[in-house]
Amino acid sequence: MGGVIGAVSGKFVLAATGLLFSATVERQKVRAWIDPTAAVSQVSARLAARIDKTGQPSAPNSMLVRRRPMTIGIRAETFGVEALSVTTAPLPNGVDFVVGRDILGAHVFDLNFRSSQIRIILPYEYKDLTRHMTPVALTPGPDGTWSFSVAIVGSPSSTAALQLASPNAVTFNSTPCTGEDRTVPAGPIEIAIGSAELSVGAVTIVASPICTPAITIALKAFARRHIILDLPHHCFWIDQPKPTR
């Protein structure tokens, strides 16, 4: 991993499809989107054509490969990837680069929701940055989902899913799985995650026929908070809010 001359801004926005930010792929500035359901990171066909420069259109689901690893830049840091999947499916909001599980599982991401900044944490920074944060263990699912233990304050512990491709705050599935008794909470609610707590003003309620975790916690739940997404070590870290005076 190294630095990049002319680094892109690390500012991100929460759109209807999730977290969007600027990145570079082979020095091409693009709009990027985090989607853990993608096993391999993807580029649009138009971006593949700009990088490949052969004039030949990319076949659906083909792989973009060069003679050397391709350089990805996020803020001031760069790293190499051997291949990127070329998607011909329409991508949201002008996105040309989809960050999938291969990249998410190889790097530690700093997501500061107070300043709306994203960056990659370097190994020598890790210990100092996580010193005063709360670690939360994650259990990976086969489809890119991650689950962890939470408790709505005043209720028993439950399993929640971490949703990185949605801008919502908290979604509650009111359809119980076998043997479960799901009581639908009314917002605002306090959610305990280890020794940390999240205050959420509103809860989206759905009735899904699929047996899923009762609670899905997505990006807006972390408003005004600072998290470190450490999927290589199957965890994330969340800051402890400063006490109000």
CATH number of the domain within which 137 lies:
2.40.70.10
Q: Where are the alpha helices (DSSP H) in 9-76?
A: 45-52
Looking at the DSSP bridge assignments, the partners of residue 57 are none
Tell me the C-alpha distance between 245 and 243, whole Å. 6
* Residue 93, token pair as written in the block: 């909001």
Cβ atoms of 166 and 18 within 8 Å: the answer is yes
Same domain, 165 and 88: no
Q: Are residues 153 and 93 located together in one domain of the fold?
A: no
Same domain, 12 and 93: yes
Kind and range of the H or E run holding 103: helix 101-104
pLDDT score for 181: 61
Q: Which residue type sits at 227?
A: I
Please enumerate in sequence order all residues whose Cβ is within 8 A of that of 80, keeping only pairs 6 or more positions apart, or say none: 68, 69, 70, 71, 72
pLDDT by residue for the chain (245 residues), tens only, comes to 655 544 678 999 988 888 999 999 999 999 999 998 899 999 999 999 899 876 565 666 789 998 899 999 999 899 999 999 999 888 887 899 999 999 999 999 999 999 999 999 999 999 999 999 999 999 998 778 899 999 876 667 788 999 888 878 888 887 767 666 666 666 678 888 888 888 887 788 787 777 777 788 999 899 889 999 999 999 999 998 765 55
In a domain, 112, yes or no: no
Quote the domain boundaries for residue 222: 132-239
